[in-house]
Each structure stands twice: as structure tokens, then as C-alpha cells.
Amino acid sequence: MSDTHHIRRRTPARRGSRPAAAAVLLSSLFLSGCATFSPDAGMGVVAGVAGETIKKDVISIKTQDDALRADGAVKSLLRRSLTVDSAVQVALLSNRGLQAAYNELALAETDLVADTLPPNPTFSISRISGSGAVEIERQIVGDILALATLPFRSEIARQRFQKVQLRAAEETLRLAADVRRAYYRAVAANELVGLLTDAKSTAESTAQLAGKLGETGSLNKLDQAREQVFYAETTADLATIRQEATSSRERLIRLLGLWDGDVAIKLPQRLPVLPRRPLSLPGIEVDAVTHRIDLQIARIELGALAKSLDLTQASRFVTMIDVAGIDRKTRDPEGPPFRERGFDVQFQIPIYDGGEVRVRQAAETYNQSFNLLTEKAVNVRSEARNAFRVYRSTYDIAGHYQREVLPLRKIISDEMQLRFGSMQVDVFALLTEARQRIAALRAAIEAKRDFWLAQSELQTAVNGGGRGESQPENRSSTTAQASGGGGH
């Protein structure tokens, strides 16, 4: 309003009752558009999304009571060994970054409420006196245009708020996805630590046997070194994996938002077994396009833009109107004081650009948004397809390890034991075999981890909250690991 120029005109106060009528009319208008603070600070949508897509509770912690309730829930979840679901739940309850995002939401609501209130009227009193004459002018100025467009603007604000709500929901999903990823990585690292701990103890005792055979004179230095190098390598491997396990656990703890006393989380020693059969999702692209939160946000953005474009066109020629009710008292020294009443309307006419600039701006912004939305939809479909294919292929690979590689390794292991028992092979041939078995088990664990990560990505691809393209994991291959084992 400060940039508007007032063109004042004095008009007789013939129709003194008009401003009051307009005020009534206007008040009825803006009351309908007026928003109030919601009791949940806009968390309803977030809770809905979280409940529907990941089946979890969310809470915006505002009071001491909330904090106690969340803390209690977290504590009881942490008492047991974490599952991926309980990990996500803990994170949703205690990750402070997520709480900050919910605070953002609450802040956005304040904007919404502010935007849906009618403009405050401006009161002005001027008193001019000189040489006995006094002129007192009282004015109430209200931005009528602002008032007139209030329903429009409040609608836009509402949509903006909805967008912020979806953003908060997206943050929630993103945190859940991050937790899932971190969880699977941490558990996989745990499982690998278990495997390599066994391997190390096997390698240790065979290395000791090699040393003993050196003492009895059955093994030369060359062969002793060959037998002991596996121990040395496994020890190094185990150290690396332990460090990975610690790091991934810490990452999980960060995402869970745990502090001090709660960090002693219990993680299972093994990844969950593969599902009996993989999901078959023929409608995955449609699902993704319907559910993806980022797409919903983009759609709302576009809707809001469309609304604001209408608004721009409606107010194309008259951009801003100030209506002022004027009540003026003048006391002339020569005559008796008289009263004047009237009103004052000020408006700006965009005579230079004809409003065209703003219309063009709005139109191009709209087109841009529309194209971006379309692009996003194309990407979402592609991402969904890709995520599903990755999910299927990682399932097949992990299943292949479970159904083919490991049973074959078991047969080899059994047969080698039989051959050892019937003195066909040396004890160190068993070690060579054990090395290959460990490599296969390791590859199987990594394949299973990749499946669970892919499954998590699939959820993200359908619901949103992802971080774009994820890098494929490096999987150690059986043959690479096992080579150089038994060349003696």
C-alpha cells in the first residue's frame, strides 16, 4: 500500500450511508475466507501419508507431554532388537531434523492464517489549523482490492500450505527411506562381521596348524606362509568390515536421532530372509504417478499457479484500490464549523504496460511449471519401472545365491569332507574349500542386502522421498575372492 499514490478528490457527502453498507458487504466476504489455526498445526496430512504409505505414527513434539510420550514409545521400541519397522518408527519419533521440518510446517500455517485475514484498515486523522481556522480530517482507508481478492488469495495460501504439508510428509518419507537403507546396511555389515569372525577363527587355527607342521618338519616355509596368509588377509578383512559395521551403525543412530543413553541399540545379527516370492506390480507406474509426493506437490504448485494466473487476469487493469471513508470537520473563523463527509478511492492504472508484462510472466511461469510437472511425471514412471526391475533382478540374484550357489557350495563342502575322511585330500584342501565357501556366503549376504535396499528403493520410487539415482553396491564375487587359494 505504501507504493500507491493517492489522488484525492473531495466529494460531497451526499450518500453518507454507502461506506457502512460496503463495510458490511466486505466483512461478510472476508469472514468466509478467513482461516484459523488448526489444532494439529497441519500435521494431519503428514500423519495421513505416514500412516497410509509406511504405516507409521508421526508426532510433532510441542509440549512436555508430547516429548514424554515420544520418549516412552522410543524407549519401549529400543528395548527389543530393532526391526526395519521399529527403526523407522523410532526415527519418526525422535529425529530432530524431522521435528524441525514439522516446525517449518507450523510456521507455514502462521503464514496461511495471515494471508487469509482481510487487510487491516488504515486510520488517519489530520488536523490543520491556522489563523483561527481548524480543519480536522479523519479517514479510514481499507484496501478494497485486497479484500475483494481475499478468497482468491486465501485459496492460494491454502494451497501453498498444503504444499508445505506435503513437503513435510515428503521429509517424513525421506527419513523413513534413509533409515531403511541405513538399517539394511548396518545389519548386513553385522552379518558379514559374524561370517568373517568365524572365518578368522578357522583361519587362525589352520595357521597355527601350519606352524605346528613347520615344527614337526612337514611343511616348508613357503607352504606355511601360503597357509597363513589367509589368516592374515581374513584378519584385515574382518577389521575393515567391523569398521564398516560401526560406521553404518552410527549413521543409523544419527538418523534415529538417539542421544547418549539410547545409543545401545540392538541390531539383529542377520538380514531378514528373502520373501517367498517377489511382488508382482503390473500397475507400478500408475501407482507411482498417483502416490509420489513430489508429484503431488508439483501438481498443487501448478494449480496454485493457475489460480494466481486467473487472479492476475482479473486484476489486470486495476491493480490496487484503496477505499477511504472520509469524515472531515472544518471550522472557519468566519463561519460556523461545518462537517463534510465523503469517500476517497485511489487506484493505479497500468497505462504503460497495460498489465501485459504480468500476464506474460504468469503465463510463462505456468507453462514452465506445467512442463516441469510433465517431466517429473515421465521421470517418476521411469524411476518406478527401473526400481521394480532392480527389485526383481536383485531378488533373482539373491534367490540364485540361496537356491543354487549356497546348496552347491554345501555339496562341495560335504564332498570335500568325505574326501578328507577317506584320505583323498589334505587338511589344507579343506581350508581352500572353506575360503571359497566363505566368499560365496559373503556374496550371498551382499546379494541379500542389495535386495532389501532395492525393496526400499521401490517403496521410495512409488511413494517419494528418494534421493534420485542410487549407486549400485559393489558385490564381491566368489571367484575373485577365492582365487589364489589352493595353488600348492
Partner 1 sequence: MLSRRNFLGTATALAGAAAITGRAQAASIPEAPTMEKVTMQPPLHPTSGPDYNPVVTLNGWTLPWRMNGDWKEFHLVAEPVEREFAEGMKAHLWGYNGQSPGPTIETVEGDKVRIFVTNKLPEHTTVHWHGVILPAGMDGVGGLSQPHIPPGKTFVYEFEMKHSGTFMYHPHSDEMVQMAMGMMGMIVVHPRDKSFRPVDRDFVFIMSSYDIDPGTYLPKVTEMTNFNMWAWNSRVFPGIDPLAVRLGDRVRVRMGNLTMTNHPIHLHGHNFAVSCTDGGWVPESAQWPEVTSDIPVGAIRAFDFTADNPGDWAFHCHKSHHTMNSMGHDVRNLIGVNKKDLAKVLGKLAPDAMVMGTTGGAMGEMEMPMPDNTLPMMTGSGQFGPIEMGGMFTVMKIREGLARDDYKDPGPYDFPKGTVAYEVEAPQSTAPRQVNDKTKAKPAAPQEMKGINMKGMKGMKGM
Site for partner 1, rule CB under 8 A:
198, 201-202, 205-219, 221, 224-225, 228, 231-232, 235-236, 238-239, 242, 415-428, 430-431, 433-434
Nearer to partner 1, 205 or 382 (CB): 205
Complex with partner 1: residue 41 or 434, whichever CB lies closer? 434
CB nearer to partner 1: pick between 356 and 426: 426
- As measured in angstroms, the least distance from the Cβ of 212 to partner 1 is 5
- Toward partner 1, which CB reaches closer, 23 or 229? 229
Bridge partners of 129, per DSSP, are: 134
| CB nearer partner 1, residue 53 or residue 206 | 206
- Residue number, 242 or 316, with CB nearest to partner 1: 242
List residues bridging with 138 in a β-sheet. 125, 327
Task: Give the nearest distance from C-beta 239 to partner 1 in angstroms.
Answer: 4
In angstroms, the CA 356 to CA 334 distance is 53
Full strand arrangement of the beta sheet holding 338-347? 122-130, 133-143, 321-331, 338-347
- Shortest distance in whole angstroms from residue 275 CB to partner 1: 31
Nearer to partner 1, 379 or 413 (CB): 413
Which residue number, 185 or 437, has a Cβ lying nearer to partner 1? 437
Backbone angles phi, psi at 40, to 5 degrees: -105, 15
Kindly state the smallest distance separating residue 247's Cβ from partner 1, in Å.
15
Task: Indicate the residue among 237 and 327 with the shorter CB distance to partner 1.
Answer: 237
User: Of the candidates 31, 268, 309, 383, which has an alpha carbon nearest to the alpha carbon of residue 156?
Assistant: 309
Q: Which is nearer to partner 1, 51 or 211 (CB)?
A: 211
Q: Identify whether the C-beta of residue 269 lies closer than 8 Å to the C-beta of residue 440.
A: no
Interior angle at CA 197, CA 191 and CA 199, nearest 5: 105
DSSP run (H or E) holding 338: strand 338-347
| Phi, psi of 336, rounded to the nearest 5 degrees | -75, 155
- Distance in Å, CB of 248 to partner 1, minimum: 17
What's the rounded Cα separation, in Å, for the pair 423 and 121? 102
Give Cα separations from 97 to 199, 222, 370, 449 (angstroms): 40, 57, 31, 27
Helix/strand/coil for 277: coil
Residue 80 DSSP one-character state: S
Our CB check for partner 1 shows the closer of 12 and 421 to be 421
The candidate with the shortest Cα–Cα distance to 210, out of 227, 198, 232, is 227
The count of other CB atoms within 10 Å of the CB of residue 249 is: 20
The closest alpha carbon to 348, from 321, 327, 377, belongs to: 321
Question: For every residue of 316-332, which 3-state class applies, written as one string?
Answer: CCCCCEEEEEEEEEEEC
Element (H or E) spanning 128, and its range?
strand 122-130
Please, what is the minimum distance in Å from the beta carbon of residue 249 to partner 1? Answer: 16
Helix intervals (H) in 334-482:
356-400, 406-421, 427-463, 478-482
Q: Which is nearer to partner 1, 122 or 417 (CB)?
A: 417
CA 272/CA 83 separation, integer angstroms? 9
User: Shortest gap between Cβ of 375 and partner 1 (angstroms)?
Assistant: 50
Scan for cell 492464517, then name that residue: 113
DSSP reduced 3-state for 266: coil
Which residue in 266, 277, 282 sits closest to 190, CA to CA? 266
| Least distance in angstroms from the C-beta of 406 to partner 1 | 17
Give the shortest CB-192-to-partner 1 separation in angstroms.
14
In angstroms, the CA 394 to CA 454 distance is 7
- Work out how close the CB of 158 gets to partner 1 at its nearest, in angstroms, rounded to a whole number: 59
- Least CB distance to partner 1 at residue 383 (A): 41
In the chain, the largest separation of any two C-alpha atoms, in whole Å, equals 137
Least distance (Å) from partner 1 to the CB of residue 378? 50
